[in-house]
């Protein structure tokens, strides 16, 4: 009898474990979708910080792409309204011989009247995580404690999560204009960013669990 009860208990725990392992990714995906949507549709707030970090986007030769240009313009607006004291541009180049995204952004801001002394940049990163990882030295060297991340609305939840994981005190400010305005494009962008945030959170969580278990 005891053996039978033990067997039933083990079987029950087995099925509970299977159910939990199936539900956890689903719940995390739903949470990520909510986070991306809520962050991207939050009402603009008046936030002040030491610097605005313009997350990299494509550069077309020596000119910013429309997406990148809107990010730069929004950061310049924050600077001109004295909500930030410096601008930080991020992003490398897709291949050797091409101007880096950071340099394209810096040149554009200079043409718009932002003083050279108030512009910082890192020009080696190729994705959002590297953008943020590489600016940490800039922040330390320039005594920058707080930043505002500038990007398209649905990109900000992932960027903020990564920044916090890297120990960066970051708020967010979405570009008021974006090429992702049509309903279909917005849905596609929402799905892409939800999956990207889910993948990042899942991998980050898994790494921490395995590290804690010393595996």
The predicted-structure confidence for 123-179, as pLDDT tens digits, reads as follows 999 999 999 999 999 999 999 999 999 999 999 999 999 999 999 999 999 999 876
In the predicted model, what is the mean pLDDT of residues 51-71? 95
Q: Which CATH number belongs to the domain containing residue 136 in this structure?
A: 3.40.50.620
Instruction: Assess if residue 18 is contained within a domain.
Output: no
> Would you say residue 64 lies in a domain?
yes
pLDDT at residue 122 in the model: 97
Structural domain contains residue 199:
no
Residue 25 falls inside a structural domain? no
Does residue 111 lie within any of the structural domains?
Answer: yes
Query: Residue 77 is part of which domain span?
Result: 40-181
Q: Which residues contact 88 (CB under 8 A, 6 or more apart)?
A: 51, 52, 53, 54, 119, 120, 121, 122, 135, 138, 144, 147
Q: Quick check: 110 and 119 in contact, CB under 8 A?
A: yes
* pLDDT band at residue 24 under the 50/70/90 scheme: confident
Give 177 or 88, the one with higher predicted confidence. 88
Per-residue pLDDT at 110: 98
Q: Say if 209 falls within a structural domain.
A: no
The pTM of this model reads 0.86
Mean pLDDT, rounded, for 105-115: 98
Q: In this structure, is residue 206 part of a structural domain?
A: no
Total number of domains constituting the chain: 1
Is residue 57 domain-resident? yes
Separation of alpha carbons 123 and 77, rounded Å? 23
């Amino acid at each position: 009898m005891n053996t039978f009860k033990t067997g039933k208990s083990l079987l029950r725990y087995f099925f509970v474990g299977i159910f939990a392992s199936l539900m956890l990714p689903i719940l995390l995906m739903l949470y990520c979708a909510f986070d991306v949507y809520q962050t991207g549709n939050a009402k603009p707030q008046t936030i002040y910080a030491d610097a605005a970090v313009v997350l990299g986007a494509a550069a077309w030769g020596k000119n910013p792409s429309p997406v990148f240009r809107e990010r730069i313009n929004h950061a310049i607006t924050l600077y001109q309204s004295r909500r930030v004291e410096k601008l930080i541009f991020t992003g490398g180049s897709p291949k050797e011989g091409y101007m880096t995204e950071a340099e394209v952004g810096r040149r554009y801001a200079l043409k718009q009247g932002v003083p050279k002394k108030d512009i910082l940049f890192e020009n080696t990163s190729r994705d959002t995580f590297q953008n943020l990882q590489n600016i940490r030295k800039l922040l330390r060297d320039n005594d920058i404690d707080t930043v505002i991340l500038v990007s398209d609305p649905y990109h900000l939840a992932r960027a903020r999560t990564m920044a916090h994981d890297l120990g960066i005190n970051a708020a967010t400010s979405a570009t008021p204009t974006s090429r992702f305005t049509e309903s279909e494009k917005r849905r596609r962008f929402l799905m892409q960013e939800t999956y990207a945030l889910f993948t990042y959170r899942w991998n980050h969580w898994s790494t921490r669990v395995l590290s804690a278990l010393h595996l």
